[in-house]
Structure 1
């Protein structure tokens, strides 16, 4: 069977099932009496086992099968759940994740799982899964699918098979109610069975199954040398199989079933009912999976459309063509709706990142001997797919630092009058056109004097200006490359790497990070990110007949200042503005253009957190929605330039990196 075409679907579904297992297992660890959670874990594990076997990943299927046995024993109350058992199951899930990661990276998914399988077998202690009674199975089958009828040739084949000692089985397979590809799943069942014997007949027919002209159940008459359990287990390895009912049949039983079947409803009525149910289900299907590359191509095409629309709009205004201007205004409304729709398609809940942290914190607390509770809120907050992919590693660094440096040992917390269990709150929410992610802990807080002393020793600051530093400036020293206040190096943190990478990554996404802390009470990391990176609103400014774009998210306000407001302090040009002294930067000088001396200057006040800088420009052109274009490999290191955009007249405008100027 050719399985490569199903690989992407297998990877995506495997990751979803593993995440579901992790979430329910974490909940079950807190509530051992809730066997409903075990049922959910078992269902995900069972589906994963079937998918893995079908795709040929035997190590994955073997481990999942043994884990499934333990879960079945738990839900049937054959074994009592202990913390050690939970740890072993978590260890098994870790191995499953490693194998799926290997497959995702192009590997074969092979891993030595003998040790964890042996542990699971010890937990199981020889318990067996009860098999369905054959009489109950027969009664259940008769209510699910119609009995098979055979022509003379098929009767001859069955008779010869029985005479030669083969088993003849009637197998009813019921798919999950949520199965989206019924035909594909049925095809996988056929492939599995054809490797073990010979299929005589199916109800409905093969053609009807291929066209998905059946409900969630179909049946097969099958001849094989293998026993019922082997056949049943083979079918269960296919994903999205809800139930398998199997019974040994003879020609006499078939004839009897056929006579009873004559009293069943008319075939036309059944077909009509089936079509009605299919129509109902089709109406309920409101989502499809689309490859991200297709959405990227759609976005690129739309970006080109925006550029052409801007050029057309400028040409119409230059020619004072009022009818054309009105048409373009209608295009603007339509393009705005289309833009919002495309951006919404790229938006995904940030829980794709957040859902990895509860298990990570659990593992770290056991390693460090601490007691920590992680609270996650706002996981439904949506962010651009590209940003979700890149924000994961910075958040891992921050949470590991909170666990290692922030939360104290239980004994220390008790001595300080705190609860032995520390608390970390990971939350996200929308704020205007931005997404805010905060990591707040109730740990020891940050010792500012310790930071200052370390910074002086490293030569990052001098002892003379240490007293002039504000709290935000002190905390900002933690982001200096190689800076760490950890007294001991561990595998978790304290090697002087991480926070500088965190800051660089966040700023490369157009965001910012701020630290707030109070000694003895806790620390808060607040990350501010734009919703998307592809299309932004910017202020176009004129600098020496060149047009530059300033992202609106960085702009606090615009102002016109006079020459007497400008001062020079310690060889730096500053501006006295709103009872504050802020640096003043002439963009013409920054970009190697001539500086013009004037009595008044147009300025744009930009900010990053609490830091502010006034940028001097020649004039304001106006606010525009611009499409961000990269500069290419040769120009990506240009100072204070983060990208470019194409204006309505076809000219290229550079996008100013305000964060670089503020730094």
Structure 2
């Protein structure tokens, strides 16, 4: 059997089941008596065990099997949930995640899980677990009625049984118990049925055939067989099926069937009475809604990337056609191009939506991380996640995980105080950490908010001066927000000692670089004694962006609309000088001017505005505002962002390029770098 074609599905589903187990385990820690959570974990572990065994990944199958045993004890109330036990199960999930990622990166999924298996086994054996045969025997003793009958026979089945007995056939209730380590239970059930159908007619099974196929049973099931074979012969044939631990065969008599008929009649009368009561009950349960069939398919992300690239070419050609239609000025052509533009706009929305992924996929990893860090640091922290269904482009999602890890670790280590300090300051011993995502315009904002001690302004400033990030003279003129921005400097850390969590000064530096490489920005605000808020602003998508096209000298440049506040025409006399820098007074605020033709050293072209006037675009990065001086504005347009390739890396203040409708290449200005 060729397994490679199923590998991608296996990896996707394995990650989903492991994530579900992680979330369930965190919930179980808060509600240790909620057996529904345990059942959910058990189902996920069981499915993962079956999948991994089928694919041939024995280490994963072994760990999940042992996890199942422990979870089974919990759900049967033979084992109590306690922190030490949860730690062992968490460690098991870590091993499983590592093995799944090993397979994803081309490995064999093998790992030394001896210690994990030993710890799980200790919890299992230390709480009086019986051997396989004892378990089977116990089930036989505890459930005599189920063993003999299973579910009562209905009227049709009773008639068939009585007629068969009158004609000299035997009727057997066969209880088959599979081994505890049986991996493909549904396959074993099928083999048992195949054997029995050669010996006679299978009348019914408990659980039903559908439930058996879906593996919705523990280790035992009952089959009712009508046959002319002897009891011992039937038993011997079933025992030949591999992974069958025990077979018990009970012969049914005519008297037993008649007892069943009487019991069924009594049950029917009781049910009718109950129905009458229900009809009179004004608070009857609502009718079950029909299950909605899933209408989703898995698509390889590479195919979506190809589709996006093709559409980007279409956008470039659309711009070209719009330019031609404007030049030709024919009504039929203009109308056709306008219609094509509308349709391609709708198509663009659909394709961009297809690439959108909820930030939940990134947020899901943090509850577990917060739990572990708070335990390591001896802190009590409650993590609250809001807006997890907010969607971002997949390329942004892939990059945003690491910056968020650094910010959360920073909030836990530097922000939230120990329970003793919090109590002394009159706060609750348990700190609060809020991770929030929300849409605003063409951007997504992610906030990390804590109610800790806030940022110590003096300590940050002292460290910045010590590290040479800012000089002594300039330090005292900095505002609070400017001081807080210093924590993003390379090599900066206020930790007194280097630990596994902080102190090396690389975390927040990485955060800033990564966010800005995605076309976003990160800001921080803090109130001493009350906490801090780190806010990340990200573009919805990175490939197709809205820009303002401008002319500077003989060149056309594109400035992203996300950076622009507004445009203006200035008189020459409105330009002033401050510290040898040309500035303007923009609504009571001094704003520096940046002349694009000077920055990019482009040849001077024909001025599009009258002498004595300047075209200015006011752009913002966080708190900073600047005016970009250009020769003229062309207008707004949606363009495809193309990278400059490997030969033109680290070009100052240029984030990429685009092809315009007339075939000209326009460079896209990186306003963050200019500011």
Do these two structures clear the TM 0.5 threshold for a shared fold by scoring above it? yes
Q: Kindly tell me: are residues 75 and 357 of structure 1, through their superposed partners in 2, closer, same or farther at Cα, counting changes over 3 Å?
A: same
- Give per-residue Cα distances to partners, 1:508-566, cap 9 Å, x unaligned: 11100000011111111000001111111111111113111111101011011121222
Superposition deviation, residue 308 in structure 1: 1.1
SS of 2:476's partner is helix
DSSP 3-state at the match of 1:74 = helix
Name the CA shift for 1:557/1:24 in 2 (closer, same or farther; >3 Å): same
Normalised to the residue count of structure 2, the TM-score between the two structures is 0.79
What is the CA deviation profile of residues 406-445 of structure 1, one whole-angstrom value per residue up to 9, with x for unaligned ones? 1111111111111111111111111111111000001111
Aligned to 2:391: 382
Contact persistence 2:595–2:630 (CA under 8 A): yes
Q: How do 1:302-317 and structure 2 match up within 5 A?
A: 302-317=311-326
Tell me the distance in 2 between the aligned counterparts of 1:626 and 1:354. Answer: 31
For 1:294-305, what aligned pairs fall within 5 Å after superposition? 294-305=303-314
Q: How many correspondences in the alignment? A: 583
2:537 alignment counterpart: 528
**Conserved? CA contact 1:141–1:172, under 8 Å:** no
Structure 1 residues 590 and 35, CA gap change in structure 2 (3 angstroms): same
For the aligned residues, what is the CA RMSD? Answer: 3.6
CA deviation map 1:287-313 (0-9, x unaligned): 111111111111111111111121112
Q: 2:631 aligns with which of 610, 618, 624?
A: 618
Q: Residue 218 and residue 474 in structure 1: after superposition, are their counterparts in 2 closer, same or farther (change >3 A)?
A: closer
Corresponding residue for 2:65?
Answer: 65
SS in 1 for 2:662: coil
1:569 equivalenced with 2:578 (yes/no): yes
What SS does the aligned partner of 1:625 have? strand
What SS does the aligned partner of 1:538 have?
Answer: strand
Aligned to 1:516: 525
Q: Is the 8 A contact 1:202 1:218 kept in 2?
A: no
2:642 to 607, 629, 634: 629
Query: Is contact 1:446–1:518 with CA below 8 Å preserved after alignment?
Result: yes
Instruction: Measure the CA separation in 1 of the matches of 2:422 and 2:642.
Output: 51
| Aligned equivalent of 2:360 | 351
Residue aligning to 1:14? 14
In the alignment, which of 359, 363, 368 is matched to residue 372 of structure 2?
363
Uncovered stretches (5+) of structure 2, i.e. residues with no partner? 158-173, 179-183, 199-208, 215-222, 226-233, 254-288
Query: Equivalent residue for 1:589?
Result: 598
Are the structure 2 counterparts of residues 330 and 428 from structure 1 closer, same or farther at C-alpha, using a change threshold of 3 Å? same
Distance across 2 between alignment mates of 1:141 and 1:10 = 40
Q: Distance in 1 between matches of 2:251 and 2:176?
A: 15
Answer yes or no: is 1:120 the counterpart of 2:120.
yes
| Post-superposition CA distance 1:148-193 (Å, at most 9, x none) | xxxxxxxxxxxxxxxxxxxxx99999xxxxxxxxxxxxxx889889
Q: Is 1:82 aligned to 2:82, yes or no?
A: yes
Query: Match for residue 394 of structure 1?
Result: 403
The alpha-carbon deviation at position 99 of structure 1 amounts to: 1.4
**Contact 1:586–1:595, Cα closer than 8 Å, also in 2:** no
For structure 1, which segment, 88-97 or 124-133, has the greater mean C-alpha deviation from structure 2 after superposition?
Answer: 124-133
Residues 395 and 119 (structure 1 numbering): CA distance in 2 closer, same or farther, change over 3 Å? same
Please say if residues 42 and 68 of structure 2, whose CA atoms lie closer than 8 Å, have aligned partners that are also in contact.
yes
For the residue of structure 1 that corresponds to 2:472, the secondary structure is coil
Question: CA 1:647–1:88 in structure 2 vs 1: closer, same or farther (change >3 Å)?
Answer: same
1:12-32: CA deviations, max 9, x gaps? 111100110111111111111
1:28 aligned residue: 28
Secondary structure at the aligned position of 1:352 is classed as: helix
Is contact 1:387–1:509 with CA below 8 Å preserved after alignment? yes
- Residue 366 of structure 1: how far off its partner (Å): 1.0
**What is the aligned partner in structure 2 of residue 608 from structure 1?**
621
CA distance in 1, matches of 2:108, 2:619: 51
Going from structure 1 to structure 2, the CA distance change for 1:122 and 1:229 (only over 3 Å counts) comes to farther
Deviation of the 1:488 alpha carbon: 1.1
134-143 vs 652-661, greater mean Cα deviation: 134-143
SS at 1:654 equivalent? strand
3-state SS of 1:507 partner? helix
1:451 is aligned to 2:426: no
What SS does the aligned partner of 2:15 have? helix
Does the 8 Å contact 1:555/1:604 carry over to 2? yes
Q: Identify the range of structure 1 (577-586 vs 595-604) with the bigger mean alpha-carbon deviation.
A: 595-604
Q: Residues 202-229 of structure 1, C-alpha deviation per residue, up to 9 Å, x if partnerless? A: 99xxxxxxxxxx9776699999999599
Is the contact made by 1:172 and 1:217 (CA closer than 8 Å) also made in structure 2? no
Write the mapping of 1:40-439 to structure 2, written as runs, cut at 5 A.
40-124=40-124, 125-128=127-130, 136=146, 139=150, 231=243, 284-439=293-448
Q: Secondary structure at the match of 1:585?
A: strand
Structure 1 residues 192 and 546 mapped into 2: Cα distance closer, same or farther (>3 Å)?
farther
Deviations 1:562-589, CA, capped at 9 Å, x for gaps: 2122223223222222111122111111
Distance 1:71 1:556, change over 3 A: same
Q: Structure 1 pair 228/127, CA: closer, same or farther in 2 (3 Å)? A: farther
Alpha carbons of 1:10 and 1:342: their partners in 2 closer, same or farther (altered >3 Å)? same
Q: Distance in 1 between matches of 2:355 and 2:237?
A: 52
SS at match of 1:648: coil
Structure 1 residues 589 and 66, CA gap change in structure 2 (3 angstroms) = same
- What is the match of residue 539 of structure 1? 548
User: Are residue 552 (structure 1) and residue 561 (structure 2) matched?
Assistant: yes
Q: 1:258-307 CA deviation, whole Å, 9 max, x = no partner?
A: xxxxxxxxxxxxxxxxxxxxxx9998232111111111111111111111
How far the C-alpha of 1:109 sits from its partner, in A, is 1.5
Instruction: Report the counterpart of residue 507 of structure 1 in structure 2.
Output: 516
Q: CA deviation at 1:324?
A: 1.0
Mind listing any 5+ residue stretches in structure 1 that lack a counterpart?
147-168, 174-187, 204-213, 234-245, 254-279
Deviation at 1:142, TM superposition (A): 8.8
Change (3 A) 1:123 1:282: closer
* Residues in 1 aligned to 2:79 and 2:241: alpha-carbon distance in whole angstroms: 24
1:218 and 1:368 map into 2 onto residues whose CA distance is: 48
CA 440–366 in structure 1, closer or farther in 2 if over 3 Å, else same = same
> Which whole-Å CA distance do the structure 2 matches of 1:550 and 1:34 have between them?
55
Deviation at 1:329, TM superposition (A): 1.2
Following the alignment from structure 1 to structure 2, what is the Cα–Cα distance between the partners of residues 36 and 283?
23
Report deviation, 1:491: 0.2
1:166 alignment counterpart: none
Asked whether the 8 Å contact 1:198–1:223 carries over to 2, the reply is no
In structure 1, the residue matched to 2:670 is: 657
**Residues in 1 aligned to 2:326 and 2:197: alpha-carbon distance in whole angstroms:** 70
1:467 maps to what in 2?
476
SS in 1 for 2:471: coil
What is the Cα deviation at residue 626 of structure 1? Answer: 0.8
